[in-house]
């Protein structure tokens, strides 16, 4: 049931972003991750990890975003062998415009479908899963926190 719910929700969010904003959910996610990152920049491998794409997949996605003027690619200042994706002003404007569409879908298809108690239990359960996979569930994830429309934290975009 988890895979089906994930696939249906992702598909619906992707369809709405494409129809209303002309961008895919993966493009939205990449721009969002960059907007949430310090200085609007991430190394390509960090971006791939956050967007859950392979390195070749993130390279193709960033290539499209660069071609659209939403992201630039530059040499990493701390390691000349690495490359960073950097959010442009146009990219920041684009993610700001798309945010309402995405958050409306998250609220309509996910948040509103669950009671407050169910959301709390789900958050706790997902934290347990993250912990079992070797990650610290208490680790600060500003993009995830900012994606929750009911959070008290300021949204980066």
Q: Are 21 and 59 in contact (CB under 8 A)?
A: no
d(CA 78, CA 124): 37
Q: How far apart are CA 23 and CA 7, in angstroms?
A: 18
The residues with which 72 forms a beta bridge, in sequence order, are: 86
Which domains does the chain possess?
2-147 (1.10.10.10)
Query: Per residue in 14-59, pLDDT tens?
Result: 999 999 999 999 999 999 999 999 999 999 989 998 988 888 889 9
Beta-carbon contacts of residue 39 (< 8 Å; ≥ 6 apart): 86
Could you give the 3-state DSSP secondary structure of residue 47?
helix
- Which tens digits make up the pLDDT trace of 111-142? 999 999 999 999 899 889 888 988 776 664 54
DSSP 110: T
Of 5, 32, 3, residue with least CA distance to 143: 32
Q: Judge if pTM exceeds 0.85.
A: no
């Amino acid at each position: 049931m988890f895979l089906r719910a994930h696939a249906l929700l992702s598909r619906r969010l992707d369809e709405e972003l494409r129809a209303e904003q002309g961008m895919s959910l993966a493009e939205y996610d990449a721009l969002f991750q960059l907007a949430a990152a310090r200085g609007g920049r991430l190394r390509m491998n960090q971006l791939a990890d956050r967007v859950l794409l392979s390195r070749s997949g993130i390279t193709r996605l960033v290539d499209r975003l660069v071609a659209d003027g939403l992201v630039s690619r530059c040499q990493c200042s701390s390691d000349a062998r690495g490359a960073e994706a950097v959010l442009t002003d146009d990219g920041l404007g684009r993610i700001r415009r798309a945010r309402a569409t995405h958050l409306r879908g998250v609220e309509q298809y996910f948040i509103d479908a669950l009671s407050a108690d169910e959301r709390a239990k789900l958050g706790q359960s997902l934290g347990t899963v993250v912990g079992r996979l070797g990650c610290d569930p208490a680790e600060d994830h500003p993009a995830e926190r900012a994606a929750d429309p009911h959070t008290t934290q300021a949204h980066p975009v």
